[in-house]
Amino acid sequence: MRLPLRPAFPSAILVLLLASAIPAQAEEAPRPAPSAQPSAPPSLGADTLKPGKPAVKPYLADAALPDAVQILPPPPGHDAPLDKADRAAFANTRALKGSPRWEIAANDVAEGAAAVLENFACVLGTRIDQARVPAVINLLERARLDLAHATRGPKVHYRRLRPFVGNEAPICVQRTEKLADSFSYPSGHATQGWAYALILAALVPEKATPILVRGRAYGESRVVCGVHWLSDVVAGRLTGTSVFAALMGDPTFRADLEKARAELRAAMTGAGTPPDQAICSRETEALREPPLDF
């Protein structure tokens, strides 16, 4: 089914529209009861640390980091309108298995600066060789630690289970105990993807619109993949925006942002490798069909 491209609604309005559009008799995906003894929180951002090399440090001190537990609303309660929207979004996007949009969601599972630069190659217009942009990589990897720190609080506080726990519905990654035991609210991927999109839009403002469209889709991939609820993704965008605002108040981040701006522009105007146009065309076509519009 092909749907016309149209502007995205703000996240909160999108969720409310989804909730109001769900028929009362629609079949809902099973929702597991909370575990009596939830597992420990996942290790966020650990894969950015390279063995034998010093770890990068976050930009923000604890006192300067936004408290996402206070900023975010609680995840929706059982059978609340937004909870029904969450379950409907999970159930309906299972039909996307095997589609081009499913493939994009699987590719969007990769995290970190290098992976996201590759996923944003079509909207940037070039594949960025990370060896040529050390300032960009440093900026994104340091910011990633702040983003991981910000999501840790609400994940541990709410201990929300992921949508695939307790059922056999397809997801775009391998089911593992580690993934099932990690917490869902807010989405760390959506937090990172949206914050990275904001940073890239600040670095290349003339491409802000396609960058932010891709950043929104990166978060939506978590719903398509079946590993996050829709409200997890909405909360991730809010968390990412909050951290970005705090980072913009940090002088070290701003100085690194300026270094990265010049470096990224040079990489984009130099003899870089253009992205595969066939891949970009498939991506454009797949992202024209809103996966959460049902």
Residues with a catalytic annotation lie at 189, 222, 228, 232
Say how many residues make up the chain.
Answer: 294
Which pair of tokens denotes residue 183?
């917490």
CB atoms within 10 A of CB 48: 17
In angstroms, the Cα distances linking 293 to 109, 112, 173, 287, 290 are 22, 29, 23, 12, 6
What phi and psi, each to the nearest 5 degrees, are found at residue 285?
-65, -45
Is-contact 228 151, C-beta < 8 A? no
β-bridge mates for residue 8, sequence order: none
Q: How far apart are CA 210 and CA 207, in angstroms?
A: 6
What single letter denotes the amino acid at residue 263? E
